[in-house]
Amino acid sequence: MSEEPNATTDRTGPFFLGIDVGTGSARAGLFDAAGMMLASAKRDILMWREHGEIAEQSSDDIWTAICASVRETIASAGVDATAVQGIGFDATCSLVVLGEGGVPLSVSHSGDPQRNIIVWMDHRAVDQATRINATNHPVLQYVGGVISPEMETPKILWLKEKLPDTYARTWQFMDLADFLGWKATGDLTRSSCTVTCKWTYLAHEDRWDPDYFRTIGLNELADEDFRRIGQKIVAPGTPLGNGLTETAAAELGLSPGIPVAAGLIDAHAGGIGTVGAEGTPQSNLGYVFGTSSCTMTTTSDPVFVPGVWGPYFQAMVPGMWLNEGGQSAAGAAIEQLLLFHPAASEAEAIAASEGKPLPVWLAERAAEKIASHSDAVELARGLHVVPEFLGNRAPFADPHARAIIAGLGMDRDVNGLVALYIAGLCGIAYGLRQIIETQDKAGAPIDRIMISGGAGQQDIVRQLLADGTGKPVVASVAEEPVLLGSAILGAVAAGRFADMPQAMAAMSSVSHEYRPDRGERSKLHEARYRTFTALQQVAREGRG
């Protein structure tokens, strides 16, 4: 995909590459210093799934996909590769396991060394997370009081207990974004974003807590002075090593020595690409609505919110604190929900014939039935969805929660499928409202929602989120704000801007604002929200 550069674009640069590794693909985007994207490209990446809770990937496959995406992006942009002056990476918070010299080690019972990544969404370590939480260790107060099985120390503990040979032979355990920085530069420095958000690093104290690792049974990591999980930690955007190595440059089709920034988790890159576009980072909630959903709230001082991850120091904006919420399944929850309806196969075939994903096609069908986007909730009257197929990440930190659908009838046609889709989106909005209200009560209020992510591109989706939360939803000019966030990292590493806030203000801007309905529709959403929370409560009480 490309965007036609405007007439004022300087074809000689400088340009900055943002590279994003999501759950299903690796993407590259080339941006100028004003934040305009000249071109982008993507490649799908492999995933191995087994009985729901297991999700594994290959670091070799991901690097190959990145290299192909970068080469295509530079070619599509029609610029000289020497004009690229900075590179930023972001990636899912997945665990990469490497043996001596960087060879992949299997994290799978299959023994296949290519399967060397435990994907963020993998829930194999629920038991380990439960045992860690039972310790009530003081570091847990910086992950909302409860560690998630999606974080890295429960997964490493699983490896020690279930695949002890892999654990013993591991040279480096790395978050995926840090792996990419190492692959590009040879530098083992970690980003404060990854290790603070997912590994219990105490960035505000500039240290690991050895007692935590010994308490939970990972004493070897502490005894080795943390050499396998990171001894040097820097803020996102900090230049790594001596820049791009000769080997990496040749594989990517770029010049050696280009500054490479310490990276970000993908959701946090979406935050960097959006929250500086209007107001202040502190007044804006960064909301990434993709396969999962993530909320990023920036504060000047630490705010402790039960059930919401953090507070994390300089995990997104250097020098500031971050609280992170969201749901483990969001776009994926909508896709799962739709599969239950009898009309799903028919609708999916029609959508595919038009070259559209099913949710996009359904959004268009819903829009045809209403006078305004705020009317969409009427299509779901009597139908309620709590879309917690993969647990409740926030604000309840409950990986055992499951989805609820109430009000189903006997319909079998596409109209019924549209209604189910709208009800699911309402459920996403109400879950977001819960997070916002919980943070507000704890002392972290926000004024608006800055949206990014592939599942939130449609106008009707954005309006439903605004109506369901009661907060304005703001879209940025950038078509790919996650890629932009990583490009901003590259621009900071290259010294184009003095700091991250300056780069964010210069490279991001607002395109449209979706204001919440304050009339009759707001009353309907209020009633539906009460039903949503009541269904959650009944499910928790009835869980056996």
Q: Could you report the per-residue pLDDT of 222-240, keeping only the tens digit for each?
A: 999 999 999 999 999 999 9
User: 171 pLDDT exceeds 60?
Assistant: yes
- In terms of domains, do 234 and 346 share one? no
Domain range holding 478? 276-329+435-514
In a domain, 4, yes or no: no
What pLDDT score does 51 carry? Answer: 78
Find the helix or strand (DSSP H, E) in which 154 lies. Answer: helix 152-162
71: exposed, middle or buried (Cβ count in 10 Å: 0-12, 13-18, 19+): middle
- Going by pLDDT thresholds of 50, 70 and 90, the confidence category of residue 52 is confident
Q: Nearest-CA neighbor of 244 among 93, 37, 88?
A: 88
In a domain, 270, yes or no: no
Segment 401-423 shows an average pLDDT of 96
- In terms of domains, do 187 and 236 share one? yes
- In terms of domains, do 155 and 97 share one? yes
In a domain, 144, yes or no: yes
- In terms of domains, do 322 and 465 share one? yes
- In terms of domains, do 538 and 459 share one? no
In the chain, what percentage of residues exceed pLDDT 90? 89
- In terms of domains, do 73 and 217 share one? yes
Yes or no: say if 282 and 300 are a contact pair by the CB < 8 Å rule: yes
Q: Could you report the per-residue pLDDT of 191-200, keeping only the tens digit for each?
A: 999 999 999 9
In a domain, 412, yes or no: yes
CB atoms within 10 A of CB 310: 26
- In terms of domains, do 463 and 335 share one? no
User: 17 pLDDT exceeds 70?
Assistant: yes
Least confident of 32-41, 45-54, 153-162, 258-267: 45-54
Query: Domain boundary at 211, 234, 264, which?
Result: 264
In a domain, 10, yes or no: no
In a domain, 394, yes or no: no
User: CA–CA separation, 326 vs 140, rounded Å?
Assistant: 18
Select the more confidently predicted residue: 53 or 403.
403
Q: What is the CATH number of the domain that holds 133?
A: 3.30.420.40
User: CA–CA separation, 231 vs 305, rounded Å?
Assistant: 29
Q: Could you report the per-residue pLDDT of 469-522, keeping only the tens digit for each?
A: 999 999 988 889 999 999 999 999 999 999 999 999 999 999 999 999 999 999
What pLDDT score does 50 carry? Answer: 83
User: 367 pLDDT exceeds 60?
Assistant: yes
In a domain, 58, yes or no: yes
User: 311 pLDDT exceeds 90?
Assistant: yes
In a domain, 324, yes or no: yes
Each residue of 321-340: b (16+ CB within 10 Å) or e?
bbbbbbbbbbbbbbbebbee
- Going by pLDDT thresholds of 50, 70 and 90, the confidence category of residue 452 is confident
In the chain, what percentage of residues exceed pLDDT 70? 98
- In terms of domains, do 341 and 246 share one? no
Q: What is the DSSP letter of 2?
A: B
- Going by pLDDT thresholds of 50, 70 and 90, the confidence category of residue 12 is confident
Yes or no: say if 29 and 17 are a contact pair by the CB < 8 Å rule: yes
What's at 158, amino acid-wise?
W
Segment 266-280 shows an average pLDDT of 90
Segment 242-259 shows an average pLDDT of 98
User: 453 pLDDT exceeds 90?
Assistant: no
User: 5 pLDDT exceeds 60?
Assistant: no
User: 8 pLDDT exceeds 80?
Assistant: no
Query: Domain boundary at 209, 238, 264, which?
Result: 264
User: CA–CA separation, 131 vs 216, rounded Å?
Assistant: 8
- Going by pLDDT thresholds of 50, 70 and 90, the confidence category of residue 137 is very high
Least confident of 10-19, 179-188, 363-372: 10-19
The pTM of this model reads: 0.85
Query: Domain boundary at 232, 264, 296, which?
Result: 264
CA distance to 29, 48, 56, 68, 285, per residue, from 256 (Å): 19, 34, 31, 17, 37
What's at 151, amino acid-wise?
M
What pLDDT score does 9 carry? Answer: 54
User: 392 pLDDT exceeds 90?
Assistant: yes
Select the more confidently predicted residue: 249 or 456.
249
Segment 327-348 shows an average pLDDT of 96
Yes or no: say if 97 and 170 are a contact pair by the CB < 8 Å rule: yes
- In terms of domains, do 163 and 228 share one? yes
Least confident of 9-13, 81-85, 273-277, 472-476: 9-13
Coil/strand/helix, residue 539: helix
101: exposed, middle or buried (Cβ count in 10 Å: 0-12, 13-18, 19+): exposed
CA distance to 142, 310, 317, 320, per residue, from 313 (Å): 10, 8, 9, 6
User: 18 pLDDT exceeds 50?
Assistant: yes
What pLDDT score does 478 carry? Answer: 87
Q: How many distinct structural domains can be found in the chain?
A: 3
With the CA atoms of 347, 353, 359 and 362 taken in that order, what torsion angle do they form, in degrees rounded to the nearest 10?
-60
User: 330 pLDDT exceeds 80?
Assistant: yes
User: 248 pLDDT exceeds 70?
Assistant: yes
User: 4 pLDDT exceeds 60?
Assistant: no
User: 335 pLDDT exceeds 80?
Assistant: yes
- Partnered with residue 312 across adjacent β-strands are 322
The secondary structure of 388-418, three-state, reads CCCCECCCCCECCCCCEEECCCCCCCHHHHH
- Going by pLDDT thresholds of 50, 70 and 90, the confidence category of residue 253 is very high
- Going by pLDDT thresholds of 50, 70 and 90, the confidence category of residue 544 is low
- In terms of domains, do 74 and 167 share one? yes
Residue 93 has phi, psi (to 5 degrees) of -85, 65
Residue 134 has phi, psi (to 5 degrees) of -65, -20
User: 527 pLDDT exceeds 60?
Assistant: yes
Q: What is the DSSP letter of 39?
A: E
What pLDDT score does 13 carry? Answer: 84
- In terms of domains, do 174 and 39 share one? yes
- In terms of domains, do 220 and 115 share one? yes
Least confident of 49-53, 159-163, 211-215: 49-53
User: 524 pLDDT exceeds 90?
Assistant: yes
Coil/strand/helix, residue 49: strand
Return mean pLDDT, the chain.
95
